[in-house]
Each structure stands twice: as structure tokens, then as C-alpha cells.
Chains A and B, each alone.
Chain A
Amino acid sequence: MTAGNSARAQLEAQFRFKRTGAGSHSAFELTANFRLDPGITILFGPSGAGKSTLLDCVAGLLKPTSARIVLNGETLHDTATNTFVPPQRRHLAYLFQDPALFPHLTVEQNVAFGLQDLDPADRANRAQDLLTAFRVERLARRKPAEISGGEGQRVALARALATSPRAVLLDEPLKGLDAELKSAIVDDLRAWNRVRQLAILYVTHQRDEVDALGERVLAIDRGQIVAEGAPYAVLDAPRKKRLAYAAGFENHLSAVVQDMREPDGVMRVRLAGSEAELEVPLAYAAVGNRVHVAIRAGDILLATRRPEGLSARNILAGVIDSLEINGPTIVCRVNAGAMFLVHVTRGAQRALELAPGQSVWLVIKTHSCHLVDE
């Protein structure tokens, strides 16, 4: 981080949150230390990692055991000086996973709820503006029970942003929406923030959202921030196996290092319980060490004949175990010494006439193999 960056930081937070196990809650500890700059920062991690808890602490809905949270120079929470600004005076926008619209109010009244300080005419205008910006103006008179899930998310977003917030917290705001709707909402959000340049903390555990949004990623796991930086740097080389699961690495293979080829920057590993070998990028390991390799199902090519003249170094023979339709993709389970998951399109499945029991070859580039920690 350069000095220039730290001057721009809008939100700085260091806190510890502890919850003792009681009733249905298990004990949980969260340690966070991060800064948010203007623009979208992704908070990425598997479920149960502490993402929502982290947002609740920033919003003041949960009280960390020790904390120092500063927004634009104003201390929101400092346990050292006993400063605690309650959530209603933090002026943050916070969108929960579930839209949490007030069921007895209309869409318009929901959006106007946070505009109590304005006089009635301004309130109505501002609510209208936000409804228009998020394309739900035609729903103004409806009750939340009468609109769809995607519309509900848009209304909740409009309601949160109507208050002229100083920073924005979004907890999986697009969960359960289809890809087209997601990118439309994301575009509207970006357009809204273009002039405002607010810090937006955006929680997701979906890889496609990270790629669509991310300028910077904070990776969180088991209550710890384990990595931060540009999306490709954080997620394409996940250092934690659990994070790799969340980052969309469907294949996790246990393997033993066979030989190291330092000049080429690669090494060969043998998959556990099989004769199959893979060439993978060189890692800090020694011959005989056990390593874990993560490979995305979408990074593996499938061929019905043994391919020749390819630059890819790994070509494994296998047999299709099963095919499963998952939306537009087909999830192919291929036994090639170890069980591999491969994603192919429906078109490819038809063209290659893929079926269980068929012999196939898997093609995997060396750099599609990622070494992860246990």
C-alpha cells in the first residue's frame, strides 16, 4: 500500500468479536483488520466464515469485544475511549442477505423510511429518484408480498442507498438471482456510485460476482482475514483449501511430489491412490511431500480421442462415470485414477455424444493446477 492509498481510505476497522457458545449458537471468534477505499471491495469466503458478523460489527448491530472503527475521520466505535455510535447514527447503508422490507408499508414508504429528516415533498421526490434509478418505480404502491424476489432486492437496495450513506455494506445482495438480473443490478449500482465514490463492502461467496465487480478482495475464513489484494491474486492462488472450495475449485486432489524441474518451474506429482501423474507449477515442496492440487471444473478440456500436438502438458485417460445437468452446464464425473469433475456445455455434450461408460481424455494445462494448503 502506498501513502496515497491510505490518504484515500474511507473506513478503517480493527476489531475482535467473540461469541461464547450458548443454545443454538456455537462459539465463534472473529478478528478483523482492514481498510476500505472508495469503490467496491469484495469480502469473499465460505459460509460460516464470519462475513455477516463482520458487517454487523461495522454497522453497530453487534458490539465487538474490542474495536476501533473510523469512518471518514469520525470514530464510530472505540473501546479504548468508550465511544460507541449506535447504528441509527452511523449513516451507513446496509443491505442484508434477505431484503427485510417492512411488510406493512408500500414499496415507496419503505424507500422513504430512512428519509425522516427531509420535509414530505423532498422525501417523496428522493424516494421516486431512487425507485427510478433501480427501475422499480412502477411498483411504488405495492406491498412487499406482491413483488418478486429480484424486485425486492432492488427495492431494498434503493431503500438503503436513499439515505445518502457514507459507506455501503452489501451482504450477498444478489443471492438467488439469475445472471442477467445480477449484472443489470450491478450496473445500476456502479452507475449510482460513479459520482459518489463511496466505499462499498460487498459480501459474496460466488466467483462470478467477484470477477464482475471486484477491484479488491478481502478473503475471510474461520473468522480471520486470510488474504487481500486484486481478485486474481487472491482467488486464483488460494492458500487455504477451504477458500479454494468457495472460489470455485471443484477438484481437490491429494498427490505426492515425484520430481522437481526447477529450470522449467514445474514439478510432477502422482495422484494419491493411482498411477496418474500431473505436471503442476513448482511450489515450495520436496520429493515425497504430500501436496493438494485444486483445479476448476471449467478449466479441464474433454476429448473423445487422444489429442495430439497440444501445448497442454497433462493428458489423462479416463472413463465417464456420470453426467448431471446443472443449468446450462453439464457436470461430468470422470474417473481418471482419481475422480475429476469437468464442466462442459450442453452443446459439447451433444456434439461429442458423451455418455456414462465412455472413454475420454482429460486435458489440463500446468497452470490450471493450483497448489493449496491443507
Chain B
Amino acid sequence: MEALWLSVRLAVLVAAILLVLAIPLAYWLSQTKWRAKFVIESLVALPLVLPPTVLGFYLLTAMGANGVLGKLWMAWFGHTLAFTFTGLVVASILYSLPFAVQPLVMAFESVDLRLLDAAAVLGAGRWRSFRQILLPLSVPGLITAAVLSFAHTLGEFGVVLMVGGNIPGVTRTISIDIYDHVQSLDYSAANRMAIALLLISFAVLSTIYAVNRRVWSPWPTR
């Protein structure tokens, strides 16, 4: 159960940080008329198509003693990022970024622009209409983003294995735990963990689809 608890802590932390990062990024993406914004969109979506081992490999290189990130971290904290919980958080944020940004962009873009015009004519600046009009009308998107980032981080395997290794209580997440049990032919232990993950994933998706079908769902609305 240590592994499950570690995964949940990781997923909650990642989902929280992702919301903070993704809201401004998604707002900018939904508002900008910059022609090259597709470059940023592609970068954000990259983890969707990239094999986790590829992302994990480059992150590991960057976080190691000779990597840019690793050197910086070493200078500040006296150790590298690789094979630490913090390293897992950083890696998971990148890996789950599209799952937070895309529902938010969709939610922001689905708000009627005329409402923002109306707010402006009524004297509201950008910040006020963002806080009082755009954000409240995007709550289903916010929930979807948070829940998807949580679920996606909870189930990740490849990136964690590359970046975190398999240190009990530090980087051994639930999916790695399952893998370990299978390797050691302890199928009943693997099954307990797998069922826990299955049920959590199901609960999470039910929550999103119950809250809102329109925002980020692979299922058609009708």
C-alpha cells in the first residue's frame, strides 16, 4: 500500500501544480492571434504521441549530474533530480501537461466571446473579466483538467521507470509495484494493486463524464 499512497501523493501534487501552470498557458493559447501558436500547441501535445521511454530518456539525461537541470538542482540543493520524488514531479508535470492544457483551452474557447465584450463595455478590464466571467464559466473544464492530470499521473509507468527508478517509498509508484509483483510471479499481490488502480480510474472517468460531457471527452455528445 506504500506504493499506492506514493502514487496518490504524486498525482495530487502534479494535478495542483499543473492547474496553476496550465490556466495561464491555456488562457494565452485561447486568446492569442499569434500565427505560430501551433508550435506551442504541438510542444504541449507532444507527450500524447511520444513514447514515454523517449520523454523519460531525455528527462533523465537533463536531470542527471551532467544535465542542465541536474546541474542547476545540484547547485541549489546539493543533489541531482534523477531518482528523487521531486524529479518524478517534474517529469510527471511535463508528461501530463496536455491533459491539463487541452480541456482548459477548449473550455475557454467555448465561452461566448460576446460575454467578454459585454464585460468590457461594462467597464471590466481583462483581469476582472477573466476572474468573474471566463473562469467561472469554465469550471467543468477546470474539473476535467484536474481529474485527467490526476488520473494520468496515477497510472504512468514508462517515464517513472526511466526517471525515478524503483526506490521503495521514494519513487516506486503503484504501476511499478504491479510490474515488480508480476516479475516475481506474485500474481495475487499484483492483482490487488491492479484492481485498486482500475477502480480509481473508473471512478475518475465517471466523475468527469457526470460533470460534463462536452469538455474533452473522446465520446461524441450525441
Task: Give residues in A with beta carbon < 8 Å to B.
Answer: 59-61, 86-94, 96, 98, 100, 102-104, 113-114, 116-117, 159-160, 163
Contact = CB atoms under 8 A, between A and B. Distances in A.
A98 B118 CA distance: 11
Interface string B92-128: 0000000000000000000010110111111111001
B124 A100 contact: no
B118 A116 contact: no
B117 A87 contact: yes
B122 A96 contact: no
Q: Is the interface of B mostly helix, strand, loop or mixed?
A: helix
A61 B119 contact: no
Nearest to B129: A88
B137 to A, nearest CB: 6
Contacts of B115: 100, 102
Nearest to B125: A88
B124 A61 contact: no
Nearest to B139: A104
Given A61-B117, A98-B114, A88 B123 contact: yes
A292 B117 CA distance: 42
Given A100-B112, A102-B115, A116-B128, A87 B133 contact: no
A59 B121 CA distance: 7
B137 A100 contact: no
Contacts, number: 54
B120 A100 contact: no
Given A113-B119, A159-B122, A100 B133 contact: no
Contacts of A160: 121-122
3 smallest A-B Cβ distances: which pairs? A114-B122, A87-B120, A100-B118
A93 B137 CA distance: 24
Given A100-B112, A102-B133, A103-B137, A113 B124 contact: yes
B51 interface: no
Contacts of B117: 61, 87, 96, 100
- The CB with the most chain B CB atoms within 10 A, among A59, A86, A87, A90, is that of A87
A293 B119 CA distance: 46
B136 interface: yes
Nearest to B120: A87
B123 A116 contact: yes
Given A87-B117, A116-B128, A163-B123, 17 more contacts: A61-B117, A61-B120, A61-B121, A86-B120, A94-B118, A96-B118, A98-B114, A100-B115, A100-B117, A100-B118, A102-B118, A103-B137, A113-B122, A113-B124, A114-B122, A114-B123, A114-B124
B11 to A, nearest CB: 29
A61 B121 CA distance: 8
B123 to A, nearest CB: 5
10 contacts: A61-B120, A86-B120, A88-B120, A88-B124, A94-B118, A100-B118, A103-B137, A114-B123, A116-B124, A116-B128
A158 B119 CA distance: 14
A92 B121 contact: yes
A94 B119 contact: no
A88 to B, nearest CB: 5
A102 B136 CA distance: 10
Contact of A88 (B121, B136, B137): B121
A59 B132 CA distance: 21
Given A87-B120, A88-B120, A114-B123, A100 B128 contact: no
Contacts of B136: 104
A98 to B, nearest CB: 7
A89 B122 CA distance: 9
Contacts of A60: 120
Contacts of A163: 122-123
A90 B120 CA distance: 10
Contacts of A96: 114, 117-118
B121 to A, nearest CB: 4
B121 A94 contact: yes
A93 B117 CA distance: 12
Contacts of B114: 96, 98, 100
Nearest to A59: B121
Contacts of A91: 123
Nearest to B133: A102
B142 to A, nearest CB: 13
Contacts of A86: 120
Contacts of A116: 123-124, 128
- The CB with the most chain A CB atoms within 10 A, among B115, B118, B119, B132, is that of B118
Nearest to A156: B118
A91 B123 CA distance: 7
B137 A87 contact: no
A86 B129 CA distance: 14
A122 to B, nearest CB: 15
Nearest to B111: A103
B128 to A, nearest CB: 7
A123 to B, nearest CB: 13
- The CB with the most chain B CB atoms within 10 A, among A59, A86, A102, is that of A102
B38 to A, nearest CB: 15
Contacts of B119: 102, 113
B111 to A, nearest CB: 10
